[in-house]
Structure 1
Amino acid sequence: MSQRLFSALKHVLLLGVALGIIAACTLPRGAPLQREMTKQKQGEPAEFAVYQVTKNLLPQIDRWPSDPTADRHWLRHGGATSVAITPGDMVNLTIWDSEVNSLLTTTDQKSTKLENIIVSRNGTIFMPYLEKIHIAGLSADTARQKIQNQMEQIIPSAQVQLSVVPGSRHSVDLVGGVASPGSYPLNDPDGHVTVLGLISQGGGVSDGMDNPQVSLTRGSKVYQIALKQIYEDPTLDTVVQGRDKVIVASDDRYFRSLGASSTEAIIPFNRETISALDAMSMIGGLQDSRADPKGILILREYPPSAVKSGGPNHQRVIFTVDLTQTDGLFSAGKFMIHPEDTVMVTESPVVLAETVIGLFTSTVRGANTAF
């Protein structure tokens, strides 16, 4: 056998060995190929649906059930809250009397103070000579006039001054997310303390928050909104009420970044809405040496109700984005990422081909050395 023929047979044999090794095992890679992710099993029910993000698909997606976190409720500004006296408030009275033989004052003292009078559960306070007077539900001025009218029946010249220190029912708990959390009394005389005003009293929002969210608990209901939206729309700066609880916290929504992207991580939402194009920027773009710009995949799982109500064909959905096409780029800018989506940047087939060629070349070199 000639040397040339032997060399040719050797290379064919080595190529077969290399291809056999590749076929028998999976080469180590940092990301899948697009065809691997979107391939369905033959003869079995579909495990997921695949949609390419284009301008024709966007109107269809808009009719599907939206991100459930986008349906959060909030209260509009509304009017001032009632400043009526409630049980638990503290009342301070100063009673002036110019009579010489006053029942309440002495010759050298023209006024007397009755301080720290707690409004009882049934809405009354106790006063000397008048006993119990019901003042709950009245404004401070109306309560003062009522007390004075009754006082005048026994002391015609009496003049009454009244001030109210709000109790727990007239305070709001600023629970967290600010410099000075705590319980803040609603002592604005007009009953006009708003969410932004309350946050300001608490020293402002803590540093380092991603897209701060405001939660307001009133009774058994919880309302939530992005702080930025309140800044931008004054009608959303709602007036707080006694016993409200307000919390400022970072947006807890996130999406995942995997594959041949510059960043593989949990990415928090730093704004209310994030498009697929925004997501590409947030993850640092694609790895130039590995990524397939035609194979950006967005994996999402819808609830069963979405499929039944005219949504996607399957609960599990893979959206594909082609960044090499103008339509793909523009459409990616209008395709919204949902919380807990997975953005998978697939690997280019060229990378696999280069790996195979490199493996074959290494095998040939090793064989030549052995022979």
Structure 2
Amino acid sequence: MQVVTKRFLLLAAMVFLAGCTLPRGAGMVKEILKEQDKDAPSFQVVEVTRANVAALRKWPATGWAGGYRWLSGSRGPAGTLIRPGDVVDLVIWDSQENSLLTPNGDKVVEMRGLVVSPTGDIFVPYVQDMRINGLSPQAAREKIQEALLPVSPDAQVQLSHRSGQSNSADLVSGVAKPGAYPLEGRNITILSLIARGGGISNKLRNPLVRLIRSGKTYEVRADDLFANASKNVVIRGNDKVLVEEDQRYFTALGATGREELVHFEKEQLTALEVLSIIGGLSDSRANPKGVLVLRDYTAKQVRRDGKGPEMQQVVFTFDLTTADGLFAARKFEINPRDTVLATESPVTAVRTIMSLLGTAIGLGTTINDNI
């Protein structure tokens, strides 16, 4: 009687479990990719190997431009250059009697607060408009004094210069002291400007330095800016500098160490680096043959020549149980807004069934013993 009861309960449990969907943290590979066998699938499946990973790296970037664009680190002139909006003070000495420059018997005339016009000129009596834009203060002084020779051969000119609004740069955010900073010299670099503002806030995660110049935006990661001297570009008037957190992210799901939205820690991340960041694969749940990366392309990025995605939605698959798959994962770059999914191992379902069957048999024995 006991044997019959146990067999009956075992058979009933197997039939019941066969018709049930067992609770899991993620789907299995066959479940997720079963649509690829249809006549008209809605997504493309690409197995990533060492043979094709180099070609895949040339596919269009998604989620961002594919790299940060930055200026070359050219150095500017060592001295100050006069720009429109700057303020110039002139003091002119003339020892001549009845001088046109110094009336009423005075030997000196002061002309202070001369604002350089948008065209780069200032007005000097008897000389009219004098173009001094782009000159150093010394060169501007010599040019004005030479222009005054026909009027007063003995005139001596003194010139002082102050940077104006157009000869300053704005530190907008991400520093202790944001604000407008005059560029007294024309050799002030972006790191010097950030230092004036108190440095980058230590509250920012993975800071990104953004420079807005002449209607164009340039970006560089702060750690790259600190490490590479060639990226320490010279600041120009009207530049705007913002320091912000890098907002690029990917999503980790399934049988991984972390299931969450994860921000990029550096400019480029490979699939293997991403798995390390999220704590790897779950030893008891994950299927190392079924690591997937889900990515969306735009309609304009779809190609039919084999040199790009054939559909807008693409699933990249990795087999991390082989050296080929591991080397491919080391080279495959993760794009912002990708989804990294570790599928469940079939063994997990078997273990769950066996555990449930064991519980059912134990229950059947208990029932049988009470009869």
TM-score by length of 2: 0.84
Per the alignment, residue 70 of structure 1 pairs with 66
Per the alignment, residue 294 of structure 1 pairs with 289
2:182 maps to a residue whose letter is: P
Per the alignment, residue 116 of structure 2 pairs with 119
Alignment of 1:59-208 (within 5 A): 59-67=54-62, 68-80=64-76, 84-96=81-93, 104=102, 113-121=110-118, 123-125=120-122, 130=126, 133-137=129-133, 139=135, 140-149=137-146, 156-188=153-185, 191-208=186-203
| CA apart distance, 1:99 | 6.6
For residue 139 of structure 2, give the secondary structure of its aligned residue in structure 1. helix
Q: State how far apart, in whole Å, the 2-side matches of 1:224 and 1:177 are.
A: 14
2:200 maps to a residue whose letter is: V
Are the equivalent residues in 1 in contact too, given 2:6–2:365 (CA < 8 A)? no
Are the equivalent residues in 1 in contact too, given 2:57–2:332 (CA < 8 A)? no
1:281 maps to a residue whose letter is: S
Q: 1:311-350, CA deviations, whole angstroms, 9 ceiling, x for partnerless residues?
A: 1333222222222222222221111111111111122222
Select which of 23, 45, 54 maps to 2:49. 54
1:222 maps to a residue whose letter is: T
Are the equivalent residues in 2 in contact too, given 1:130–1:150 (CA < 8 A)? no
Select which of 362, 367, 370 maps to 2:367. 370
Unaligned residue ranges in structure 1 (runs of 5+): none
Q: State how far apart, in whole Å, the 1-side matches of 2:178 and 2:295 are.
A: 38
Are the equivalent residues in 2 in contact too, given 1:85–1:135 (CA < 8 A)? no
For residue 239 of structure 1, give the secondary structure of its aligned residue in structure 2. coil
Inter-CA distance 260–138: structure 2 relative to 1 (3 Å threshold): closer
Per the alignment, residue 244 of structure 1 pairs with 239
Per the alignment, residue 282 of structure 1 pairs with 277
Q: State how far apart, in whole Å, the 2-side matches of 1:362 and 1:198 are.
A: 69
Q: State how far apart, in whole Å, the 2-side matches of 1:247 and 1:285 are.
A: 35
Q: Greater CA deviation, 331-340 or 98-107?
A: 98-107
CA RMSD of aligned residues (A): 3.1
Are the equivalent residues in 2 in contact too, given 1:298–1:318 (CA < 8 A)? yes
Q: State how far apart, in whole Å, the 2-side matches of 1:146 and 1:41 are.
A: 77
Per the alignment, residue 311 of structure 1 pairs with 308
Per the alignment, residue 340 of structure 1 pairs with 337
Q: State how far apart, in whole Å, the 1-side matches of 2:38 and 2:45 are.
A: 17
Q: State how far apart, in whole Å, the 1-side matches of 2:286 and 2:42 are.
A: 25
Are the equivalent residues in 2 in contact too, given 1:210–1:269 (CA < 8 A)? no
1:73 maps to a residue whose letter is: R
| CA apart distance, 1:223 | 2.0
Are the equivalent residues in 2 in contact too, given 1:218–1:243 (CA < 8 A)? yes
Per the alignment, residue 328 of structure 1 pairs with 325
Q: State how far apart, in whole Å, the 2-side matches of 1:184 and 1:335 are.
A: 43
For residue 318 of structure 1, give the secondary structure of its aligned residue in structure 2. strand
For residue 28 of structure 1, give the secondary structure of its aligned residue in structure 2. coil
2:222 maps to a residue whose letter is: L
1:241 maps to a residue whose letter is: R
Select which of 222, 228, 235 maps to 1:227. 222
Are the equivalent residues in 2 in contact too, given 1:307–1:314 (CA < 8 A)? yes
Per the alignment, residue 351 of structure 1 pairs with 348
Q: Greater CA deviation, 167-176 or 196-205?
A: 196-205
Q: Greater CA deviation, 351-360 or 10-19?
A: 10-19
2:145 maps to a residue whose letter is: Q
| CA apart distance, 1:84 | 4.9
Are the equivalent residues in 1 in contact too, given 2:72–2:233 (CA < 8 A)? yes
| CA apart distance, 1:356 | 1.0
Q: 1:253-281, CA deviations, whole angstroms, 9 ceiling, x for partnerless residues?
A: 11111111111111111111111111111
Per the alignment, residue 265 of structure 1 pairs with 260
Q: 1:210-269, CA deviations, whole angstroms, 9 ceiling, x for partnerless residues?
A: 443222222222222333444444333332221122222222211111111111111111
| CA apart distance, 1:171 | 1.2
Are the equivalent residues in 1 in contact too, given 2:36–2:44 (CA < 8 A)? no
Inter-CA distance 36–337: structure 2 relative to 1 (3 Å threshold): same
Per the alignment, residue 21 of structure 1 pairs with 16
| CA apart distance, 1:131 | 8.5
| CA apart distance, 1:136 | 4.6
Inter-CA distance 276–312: structure 2 relative to 1 (3 Å threshold): same
Q: State how far apart, in whole Å, the 1-side matches of 2:147 and 2:43 are.
A: 78
Are the equivalent residues in 1 in contact too, given 2:90–2:157 (CA < 8 A)? yes
What is the number of residues matched between the two proteins?
A: 362
For residue 65 of structure 2, give the secondary structure of its aligned residue in structure 1. helix
Q: State how far apart, in whole Å, the 2-side matches of 1:47 and 1:328 are.
A: 25
Inter-CA distance 83–60: structure 2 relative to 1 (3 Å threshold): same
Inter-CA distance 235–298: structure 2 relative to 1 (3 Å threshold): same
